């Protein structure tokens, strides 16, 4: 057996084999896969083998498209069969909301190059004559949907990897992974110890146990899952002979997926009375057995399926497959470098290995061989959860996710399981003021405050929600008086030490400010992609505070650790620094009423101040685009600071506002937002962030060469904002943009500017097409809406309020 290797991949399921293949494809041939039994000995062997592109996250959907297209390439390369059946698939819509969701998905597919279509009941009847159409409004048809042979496909990946130089060692159980001082690993197996530069955990059902060997916790949990295979069904045989193989049908109302298997059918369920499996750990002896049949659990689902597909009622059951597979709390995989560890990578929590395995393998291999991926992988980044996550949180979230597998998901939806998990000292006070809570990165965050008859729960919707008026009221309070909200949901870092400035100059592409000042700066990858949009505050020559996205804090922490240098200390203080933002024309008066210090801060000044009796750092900036101050304090002082501001604000009608109002207010000044306008999918020059790059600074900042190349040869697409002739629904994200009748771009986000009464869309469009008076069409929920370019902020265009 090999005793040294560049990469040791632990686990020979479809995911481990895909990672191995993609590493060789990208040029790393000294790679070794260790499998405790035979290949496919975990979830992989009992999968139903179905694949589809549908995924709420656009990047995940694109990677699913990649996975599906890869199979033919794999077959050609290896000469092996993946048992492909590209039969196409229907996802049924039984109500208007689901139809809206599918229509929105279809719209996204237009610019992604996915050839899906919305079909009506007649076409559904033609494609799937066994479907009872009672109550069916329409469906999304995807010609790429299909199924394959799970074992054949896994072995094809394995063969392709071997052809690229990889070694596969079966019957080789990994017992321990021990990190050496130089960051490499001793991988201790039954057959001896292997010295590996990198370890990839692709342990599937045992990923938790494999992670524990490295001293880390991965938030995933196995769930039981069951599907039935029927005996021959005459209608299916007739269809096969007259038309061909029956397509897949997902019936979300019945929580089922159905496809042809042989001359019968195969139907699986995501039932509400589902059960987590192996709560206290996956037994090492498990692998080749199935779980006992459990018809009680799926009784209601079967009854529903009999109504939807009446042929099933007459069909005999040939076999029942009941096995476990793993999920992360949000159902997406856990991929990438595990925070806090060196050279340790996760390829775990892949709940749809045959839809996602190729994309996971490709992204991980790019990350390992190249240092970054070609697209934004936040949706599956293992660092999208922080160290606050525990098995006690993961389990209810995984159950919720399983139960909601086929539930309509809305852009403004808040899921209830395992909440509240993390709260600040303001939680009860804000609840008393009517806070309607959302959550970010495990933290409770007010979406808005319901007063009077305003709804205390926001009904999820693709259209403007019932919180519309409450949000409008909060926006008015800010623009006409003064509003207050909490600063708990910013990612915050303290950067200190003699080397802090030089280090920041290298990490950040923008200007690092002088003491007492702030600046905005992009953080770039080597390839020039956006990794962050930071606000840097210089508190002293050797002391800086960075603020950015709360949800991206562990991703940023991991990047900082990767680039750390002598003389610098970087601490994630996101939850150790908090405070309030006050914004609106009366914000300065409010601050003045709370302090004896001078409040004559200029725009982007930062300064220590005593507010009431609390030691604070006050910054003259506000994402609302208004006159505003961010007032930071120690969390232990937060209630005291609140009392000071709230009491002093009472005569000024100080109004608490939430994230919904904040996201509307930012539209007035056309501010972009992390994860929407700014993400690793885009470069600085595409998004307009290049205006913050300091090409004239001395430092060789990361991404400089790529940014300079873009400066000299600007990219083909560019960000632009539009006012949309919307009706009752605004842009959320990824709606296609039509120019002269053809899809030419897509939206990154949008919403309703309550202050100006404008429906705003942010989009990426071809640079060549961009004129000041560009008029486009944007497809919102199946309707093409006229949208005219906006070139100046809708509010305070001269910046008098913001900077005054």
Residues near ligand FAD, by CB under 6 A: 10-16, 34-37, 41-44, 46-51, 173-174, 202-206, 210, 225, 227, 287, 321, 323-325, 350-355
How far is Cα 781 from Cα 462, in angstroms, rounded to an integer?
A: 8
Q: Smallest distance, Å, CB 328 to ligand FAD?
A: 12
Q: Smallest distance, Å, CB 184 to ligand FAD?
A: 19
Long-range CB contact pairs, 766-771, < 8 A, 24+: 766/716, 766/717, 766/718, 766/739, 767/714, 767/715, 767/716, 767/717, 767/718, 768/716, 769/739, 769/744, 770/718, 770/720
Q: Smaller CB distance to ligand FAD: residue 278 or 790? A: 278
Q: Smallest distance, Å, CB 351 to ligand FAD?
A: 5
Provide the terminal-to-terminal Cα distance of the chain, rounded to the nearest Å.
Answer: 71
Q: Smallest distance, Å, CB 298 to ligand FAD?
A: 12
Q: Smallest distance, Å, CB 47 to ligand FAD?
A: 3
Q: Which structure tokens are listed for 398?
A: 């995984």
DSSP 789: E
Q: Which residues, 6 or more positions from 441, have their beta carbon under 8 angstroms from its beta carbon?
A: 385, 386, 388, 489, 550, 551, 553
Q: Smaller CB distance to ligand FAD: residue 233 or 352? A: 352
E-assigned strand segments in 62-189: 89-93, 117-119, 138-142, 146-147, 167-169, 174-179, 185-189
How far is Cα 261 from Cα 321, in angstroms, rounded to an integer?
A: 13
Q: Smallest distance, Å, CB 722 to ligand FAD?
A: 38
Q: Smallest distance, Å, CB 52 to ligand FAD?
A: 9
Q: Smaller CB distance to ligand FAD: residue 13 or 510? A: 13
Q: Smaller CB distance to ligand FAD: residue 328 or 763? A: 328
Q: Smallest distance, Å, CB 45 to ligand FAD?
A: 7
Tell me how long the chain is.
804
How far is Cα 293 from Cα 302, in angstroms, rounded to an integer?
A: 14
Q: Smallest distance, Å, CB 77 to ligand FAD?
A: 20
Q: What is the DSSP string of 450-466?
A: --TTS-SSPPP-SS--T
Strands 89-93 and 248-251: parallel
Q: Smaller CB distance to ligand FAD: residue 332 or 424? A: 332
Whether residue 48 contacts residue 147, with contact meaning beta carbons closer than 8 Å, is answered with: yes
Strand partners, 260: 265
Q: Smaller CB distance to ligand FAD: residue 68 or 670? A: 68
How far is Cα 24 from Cα 38, in angstroms, rounded to an integer?
A: 21
Residue closest to 781 by CA, chosen among 728, 702, 712: 728
Please say whether the dihedral angle defined by the alpha carbons of residues 600, 604, 609 and 612, taken in this order, is positive or negative.
Answer: positive
Whether residue 215 contacts residue 199, with contact meaning beta carbons closer than 8 Å, is answered with: no
Residue 249: C-alpha distances to residues 47, 74, 261, 269, 308 (Å): 17, 26, 13, 12, 11
Q: Smaller CB distance to ligand FAD: residue 44 or 461? A: 44
Q: Which residues, 6 or more positions from 41, have their beta carbon under 8 angstroms from its beta carbon?
A: 12, 13, 35, 287, 288
Q: Smaller CB distance to ligand FAD: residue 14 or 328? A: 14
Q: Smallest distance, Å, CB 283 to ligand FAD?
A: 11
Q: Smaller CB distance to ligand FAD: residue 50 or 247? A: 50
Q: Smaller CB distance to ligand FAD: residue 213 or 621? A: 213
Q: Smallest distance, Å, CB 156 to ligand FAD?
A: 14
Q: Smallest distance, Å, CB 183 to ligand FAD?
A: 21
Q: Smallest distance, Å, CB 175 to ligand FAD?
A: 7
Q: Which residues, 6 or more positions from 762, have their beta carbon under 8 angstroms from its beta carbon?
A: 670, 672, 676, 677, 719, 720, 721, 722, 731, 747, 748, 749, 750
Q: Smaller CB distance to ligand FAD: residue 34 or 93? A: 34
How far is Cα 556 from Cα 549, in angstroms, rounded to an integer?
A: 9
Q: Smaller CB distance to ligand FAD: residue 62 or 720? A: 62
Q: What is the DSSP string of 109-137?
A: HHHHT---EEE-HHHHHHH-TTS--TT--
How far is Cα 605 from Cα 613, in angstroms, rounded to an integer?
A: 22
Q: Smaller CB distance to ligand FAD: residue 323 or 446? A: 323
Q: Smallest distance, Å, CB 192 to ligand FAD?
A: 13
Strand partners, 92: 139
How far, in whole angstroms, is CA 205 from its chain's centroid? 23
Q: Which structure tokens are listed for 668?
A: 């007035």
How far is Cα 285 from Cα 306, in angstroms, rounded to an integer?
A: 37
């Amino acid at each position: 057996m090999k005793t040294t290797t560049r990469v040791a991949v632990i686990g020979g399921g479809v995911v481990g084999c895909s990672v191995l293949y993609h590493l060789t494809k990208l040029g790393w041939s000294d790679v070794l896969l260790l499998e405790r039994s035979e290949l496919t000995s975990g979830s992989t062997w009992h999968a139903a083998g179905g694949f589809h592109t549908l995924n709420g996250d656009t990047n995940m959907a694109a990677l699913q498209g990649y996975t599906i297209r890869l199979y033919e390439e794999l077959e050609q390369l290896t000469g092996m069969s993946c048992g492909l059946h590209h039969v196409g698939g229907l996802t049924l819509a039984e109500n208007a909301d689901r139809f809206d969701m599918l229509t929105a998905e279809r719209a996204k597919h237009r610019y992604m190059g996915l050839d899906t279509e919305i079909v009506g009941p007649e076409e559904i009847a033609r494609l799937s004559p066994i479907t009872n159409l009672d109550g069916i409004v329409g469906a999304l048809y995807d010609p790429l949907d299909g199924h394959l042979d799970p074992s054949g496909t896994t072995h094809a990946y394995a063969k392709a990897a071997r052809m690229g130089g990889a070694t596969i060692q079966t019957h080789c159980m990994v017992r321990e992974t021990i990190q050496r001082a130089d960051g490499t690993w001793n991988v201790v197996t039954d057959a001896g110890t292997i010295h590996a530069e990198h370890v990839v955990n692709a342990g599937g059902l045992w990923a938790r146990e494999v992670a524990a060997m490295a001293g880390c916790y991965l938030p995933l949990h196995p769930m039981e899952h069951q599907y039935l295979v029927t005996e021959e069904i005459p209608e299916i045989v007739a269809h096969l002979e007259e038309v061909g193989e029956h397509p897949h049908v997902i019936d979300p109302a019945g929580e089922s997926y159905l496809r042809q298997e042989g001359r019968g059918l195969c139907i699986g369920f995501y039932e509400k009375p589902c059960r987590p499996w192996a709560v206290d750990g996956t037994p090492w002896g498990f692998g080749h057995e199935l779980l006992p049949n459990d018809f009680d659990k799926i009784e209601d689902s079967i009854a529903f399926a009999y109504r939807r597909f009446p042929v099933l009622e007459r069909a005999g059951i040939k076999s029942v497959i009941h096995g476990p597979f793993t999920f992360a709390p949000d159902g997406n995989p856990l991929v990438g470098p595990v925070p806090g560890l060196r050279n340790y990578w996760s390829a775990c929590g892949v709940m749809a290995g045959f839809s996602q395995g190729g994309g996971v393998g490709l992204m991980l291999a790019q990350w390992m061989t190249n240092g970054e991926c070609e697209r934004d992988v936040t949706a599956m980044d293992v660092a999208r959860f922080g160290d606050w996550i525990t098995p006690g949180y993961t389990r209810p979230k995984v159950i919720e996710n399983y139960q909601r597998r086929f539930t309509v998901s809305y852009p403004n939806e808040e899921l209830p399981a395992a909440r509240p998990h993390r709260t600040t000292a303001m939680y009860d006070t804000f609840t008393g003021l009517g806070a309607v809570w959302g959550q970010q990165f495990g933290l409770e965050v007010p979406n808005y405050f319901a007063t009077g008859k305003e709804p205390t729960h926001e009904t999820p919707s693709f259209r403007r929600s019932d919180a519309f008026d409450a949000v409008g009221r909060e926006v008015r309070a800010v623009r006409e008086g003064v509003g207050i909200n909490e600063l708990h949901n910013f990612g915050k870092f303290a950067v200190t030490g003699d080397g802090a400035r030089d280090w920041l100059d290298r990490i950040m592409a923008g200007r690092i400010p002088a003491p007492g000042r702030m600046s905005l700066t992009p953080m770039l990858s080597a390839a020039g992609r956006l990794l962050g949009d930071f606000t840097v505050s210089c508190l002293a020559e050797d002391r800086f505070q960075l603020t950015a996205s709360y949800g991206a804090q562990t991703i940023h922490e991991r990047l900082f650790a990767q680039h750390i240098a002598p003389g610098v200390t970087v601490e994630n203080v996101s939850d150790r620094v908090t405070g309030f933002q006050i914004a609106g024309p009366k914000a300065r008066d409010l601050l003045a009423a709370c302090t004896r210090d001078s409040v004559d801060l200029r725009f982007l000044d930062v300064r220590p101040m005593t507010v009431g009796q609390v030691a604070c750092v006050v910054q003259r900036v506000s994402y609302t685009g208004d006159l505003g101050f961010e007032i930071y304090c120690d969390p232990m002082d937060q209630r005291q600071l609140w009392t000071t501001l709230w009491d002093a604000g009472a005569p000024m009608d100080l109004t608490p506002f939430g994230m919904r109002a904040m996201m509307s207010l930012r539209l007035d000044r056309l501010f972009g937002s992390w994860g929407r306008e700014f993400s690793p999918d885009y470069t600085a020059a595409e998004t307009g962030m290049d205006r913050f790059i300091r090409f004239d600074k001395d430092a060789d900042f990361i991404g400089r060469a790529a940014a300079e190349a873009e400066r000299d040869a600007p990219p083909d697409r560019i960000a632009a904002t539009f006012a949309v002739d919307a009706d009752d629904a605004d842009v959320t994200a990824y709606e296609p943009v039509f120019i002269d009748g053809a899809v030419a771009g897509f939206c990154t986000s949008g919403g309703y500017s309550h202050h100006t009464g404008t429906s705003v869309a942010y989009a990426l469009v071809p640079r060549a097409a961009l004129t000041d008076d560009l008029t486009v069409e944007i497809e919102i929920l199946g309707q093409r809406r006229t949208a005219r370019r906006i070139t100046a902020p809708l509010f305070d265009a001269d910046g008098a309020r913001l900077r005054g």
